[in-house]
Structure 1
Amino acid sequence: MIVNTAGGITGGDRYTLQASAHGGTSLTLTTQAAERAYRAQAGEVGHVSTRLSVASGARLHWLPQELILFENCALKRQLEVTLADAAEFLMVEPVVFGRTAMAETLHDIRFNDRIKIMRNGCPLYLDGMDLVGNAAAHIARAGIANGANAMASLVWVSHSAASELNILRKMLPPTAGASLIAEDVLVIRHLASDSFALRRDLIPVLDHLTNNSLPISWRL
């Protein structure tokens, strides 16, 4: 369990995490609570860099809790994952666009997010998001998030991915979808009205994929 002793990220902060799962091991990484990206001073950007590697025959679960974006935040985040053959990997990255209970609206933010998963030097999954300026206006558009205030990306790399696709689809709400982008790579995109609804829907899916070993910090 990773603890952010600063309590949140603001402009100028730099956080780096590196972790490896060696052959025959199983590693689960999560956070004690939701991460927060706070207001940044003009010209300052917070940086978060995570590098994970999984050896052949090993399994790694990257299960951080929600990242909550605050008004005037400036954050650049990067996740890089290197997998060997026969490595299993599960990740979820939930993002919340302001706290609904506090009636927060994001009119001016800078959020740059990149995810790269490689296996033997070849890309399995590449993803990027850039939200600059009035995020509330962007996510209100039907073709982007249709007003959803929270989202999650889930990637599961496993030899069981194809056989679980229909099971997982039945567990998802209408605002989420699951697809195979390779024979052993399953991706879920999930939109929700707020962080509570997102977590409520994600927990059964994560419980299923982790064989009911989801960290206790993820419970409602």
Structure 2
Amino acid sequence: MTRHMREEPAGTEGRVVPVQPRAEGHLSLATKARGETSAIDRLRAQGAMKALFPRRADRGVEAIVINTSGGLTGGDRLTVEARAGAGSSLCLTTQAAERAYRAASGVARVETVLAAEAGAEMLWLPQELILFEGARLERRLRVALAPDARFLLVEPVIFGRAAMGEVLRDVRFRDRIEIFRAGLPLYADGLFLRGDVAAQMARPALGGGAGAMAQVVYAAPDAGAQLAPVRALLPASGGASLPGPDLLVVRLLAGDGHALRSTLLPILGPAQPGPASDVVETVTR
């Protein structure tokens, strides 16, 4: 935890104006191949970011990323850096849904940098992001893949808790995903919602009244073979496309988080990669 200083208001030049403590955290993790299994090669956790590692035999490394600050609010700065070394397998998830709370001032920023080296696989499977009224959040995810690396991403977002009657009228949420293979752009996606999100999501051309959404990206040599099986499982509020021969993209809308999970789990079955495939259902349950 650290104490940040806001810009000086008029008439307070030369004086230090403190604001409430904010969270800073940095997690750096790398894995390596060890025979037929994978092992931790490097680990460093700082500030509000921690990691736990379930002990499971005959599997790749599984890491549960934990934000000990208990949620995101204005001024928070969190960074995750993870690399699956050559021939290794790394699955990253989170301990619980991440909550973006009302920000009294400033913006919460979360940056994730992932890499998968030759013959490696990386799974990025965080639990849902829940946006609360007044949230101010900017996220960025950058992924670098070797030519033969495999990668699975699932990013669910919930726009307020429907069971609690929450309606988002004042939110700012900016999200950016960039994936590169062999140094060349493979996929880029951006989202910017500001103001009355409930009204925007109610528009037929945007959300059709949905209270939750998810994006699934699967980059692997067998991505093309997964298109038909995934489409067969999609509801009317979902869609799947194949922008490239090794890239499958799925988008889903749902009424709430429960409905979203019910749709996601069957879809992830066909789209999951090799040795780490059996952890997908567990971490998204």
Q: Answer 1 or 2: higher relative contact order, Cα 8 Å, separation at least 6.
A: 1
Q: Which residue of 1 aligns with 2:250?
A: 188
Instruction: Say yes or no: does 1:30 pair with 2:93.
Output: yes
Kindly name which structure, 1 or 2, has the bigger radius of gyration based on alpha carbons.
2
- Deviation (angstroms), 1:204: 1.6
Output the CA distance in 1 between the equivalents of 2:79 and 2:268.
25
Question: Letter of the aligned partner of 1:58 in structure 2?
Answer: A
Q: Does residue 92 of the first structure (1) align with residue 154 of the second (2)?
A: yes
CA contact (8 A) 1:91 1:155 kept: yes
Q: Are the aligned partners of 1:96 and 1:149 in contact in 2 as well (CA < 8 Å)? A: yes
Identity percentage of aligned residues = 51
Secondary structure of 2:67's counterpart equals coil
Q: How does 1:23-62 map to 2 (within 5 A)?
A: 23-42=86-105, 44-62=106-124
Q: Deviations over 1:25-65 (max 9, x none)?
A: 111000111000000013x1000000000101000000001
**What's the CA shift for 1:75?**
0.4
Moved more, 96-105 or 207-216: 207-216
Unaligned runs of 5+ in 2: 1-63
Per-residue deviation, 1:121: 2.2
TM-score (norm 2): 0.75
CA contact (8 A) 1:62 1:91 kept: yes
Q: Distance in 1 between matches of 2:117 and 2:72?
A: 31
Equivalent of 1:13 in 76, 82, 93:
76
Q: Distance in 2 between matches of 1:80 and 1:177?
A: 23
Alignment of 1:189-204 (within 5 A): 189-204=251-266
2:279 to 206, 209, 213: 213
CA distance in 1, matches of 2:113, 2:119: 19
- Hey, what's the Cα distance between the residues in 1 that align with 2:283 and 2:190? 27
Q: Distance in 1 between matches of 2:281 and 2:87?
A: 21
Distance in 2, Cα, partners of 1:129 & 1:17: 20
Q: Secondary structure of 2:112's partner?
A: strand
Mapped to 1, the partners of 2:241 and 2:280 lie a distance apart of 22
Counterpart secondary structure, 1:144: coil
Report the alpha carbon displacement of residue 215 of structure 1 after superposing the two structures with TM: 5.5
The code of the aligned residue for 2:114 comes to L
Aligned partners of 1:14, 1:174: CA distance in 2, in Å?
37
Cα distance change of structure 1 residues 164 and 215 upon mapping to structure 2, 3 Å threshold: closer
Report the secondary structure of 2:280's partner residue. Answer: coil
- Do the aligned residues in 2 keep the contact of 1:87 with 1:158 (CA within 8 Å)? yes
SS of the aligned residue for 1:71 comes to coil
Name the TM-score, length of structure 1 as normaliser. Answer: 0.96
What is aligned with 2:183? 121
**CA distance in structure 2 between the partners assigned to 1:217 and 1:189 by the alignment:** 19
In the TM superposition, what whole-angstrom CA distance separates every residue of 1:78-133 from its partner, at most 9, and x where no partner exists?
00001111010000100000000001000001101100001122111111111111
Letter aligned with residue 9 of structure 1: L
- Equivalent residue for 1:159, pick from 221, 237, 242: 221
Does structure 1 conserve the Cα–Cα contact (< 8 Å) formed by 2:226 and 2:271?
Answer: no
